[in-house]
A and B are shown apart, each in its own frame.
Chain A
C-alpha cells in the first residue's frame, strides 16, 4: 500500500508577480463589517456630541498671576547670578546666603525700603487678585 503522502506542486521556485497579485488581491482578502458596526460608530459620534464642551483655560484671569510669577522668577535668577559673581570676592571662606547678600549689589542705595516696597506690592496684588476671583463667582 502506497503511503498517502503528497507534496505541493510548485511550478517554479520563485514567487511570480501573478502569484503575488492573486494572493494579495482585494477580492481574495476582504471581510464584511459586522452588522452593528455603523450603529456603533454613530453611537460614538453621538456620545462625543453630547459630551460637555471642555472648559477653556481662563487666560485673562490667570495673566496677572503668570506675569507675577515670571517677574519673580526673573528677579530670583538675577539675584542668584549676582550672588555667584560676587560671592568669591566677598566670602572666600564659604558661601553664606542672606538677604543682605542678595540685595547688596542690586539695591545698594536703599535695600530695606526697596524690599519693603516689593513685599507690599506683591501682597497688594495677591489681595486684589483674590478679591477679584471671589467677586466673580
Chain B
C-alpha cells in the first residue's frame, strides 16, 4: 500500500510484519519495537494531517500503536497489516478529532483576507497551500476524511477506501464534493484579494507602472 512515506527498513526485528506480529502475539513484547520503528513515520504523518499539531500528532500516533498492540491478536491477516493498522489509526484519529476538534474555525473563517491589501501581499503560494490544508480540516467530516486519506495514500482511491472502509465510488464522490467546497471558498478569497478595496487597486496600478 502506498503511504505518505514508505516504512523505514531498520535492523531491529527485520522481517515481514506478519512474522513480527507472530512473535509479539507469542509473548515477545520487545519485537513490537520493529513494528513501531517501521510504521512510526506514516502513523505520525497521518495524525499530523488530521490535527496539524506536532505534539498532538505524536500523542495520537502513540495511542494508535498502543491500541494496535492491544488488538494485535485480532489481526487475522485477511488484509495487509498496513491496511489494518491505517484503518485502526484513522478510526482513532477521527474519534479524537470529534472529541477535541483540530480547529475551532469554520470553513467561512478560513483564509478570508481581513485586509485585502495585506492579504494580497501575503497570499503567496506557500501560505495559500497552508491555508488550503487548514481549510481541509474545516470541511464536514466525511469530505475531510476522504481528502486527507486520498492524499495520504498518494492519490490512491482504493487505498483510501480500504482505510475508511467505504466503497471506492463513495470516496470519489466525497473527494469531488470536498474539492468543490474548497474551490468555491478559495476562488472567492482570490477574487476578493484581486478586486476588493482601493488599496488593492493602488497596488495593481503601482505594479503595472
Contacts and interface: CB of A to CB of B under 8 A. Distances in A.
Interface of A: 2-3, 5-8, 10, 13-15, 17, 20-34, 37-38, 40-42, 44-46, 48-49
Nearest to B185: A15
Contact of A31 (B54, B152, B194, B204): B54
Contact of B207 (A5, A15, A31, A32): A5
Given A29-B133, A42-B33, 4 more contacts: A20-B132, A20-B182, A30-B41, A41-B62
Contact of B206 (A3, A34, A37): A3
Interface of B: 3-5, 29-30, 32-33, 36-37, 40-41, 44-45, 48-49, 54, 57-58, 61-62, 65-66, 69-70, 120-121, 123-125, 128-129, 132-133, 136, 147, 151-152, 154-155, 179, 182-183, 186-187, 190-191, 193-194, 200, 202-204, 206-207, 209
A8 B129 CA distance: 14
A36 to B, nearest CB: 10
23 contacts: A5-B202, A7-B120, A7-B200, A8-B121, A8-B123, A14-B183, A14-B187, A15-B132, A15-B182, A15-B183, A15-B186, A17-B179, A24-B132, A26-B154, A29-B49, A29-B133, A30-B5, A30-B41, A31-B48, A37-B58, A40-B58, A41-B65, A41-B66
A13 B187 contact: yes
A27 B179 CA distance: 20
A2 B209 contact: yes
B129 A7 contact: no
Contacts of A46: 29
B50 to A, nearest CB: 12
A42 B128 CA distance: 38
A28 B133 CA distance: 11
Contacts of B65: 41, 44-45
A2 B32 CA distance: 64
Contact of B133 (A23, A45, A49): A23
Contacts, number: 123
Contacts of A45: 29, 32, 65-66, 69
Given A2-B206, A15-B187, A30-B4, A24 B147 contact: yes
Contacts of B121: 5-8
B152 A26 contact: yes
B5 A33 contact: no
A2 B205 CA distance: 11
Contacts of A28: 129
Contacts of B132: 15, 20, 23-24
A83 B45 CA distance: 67
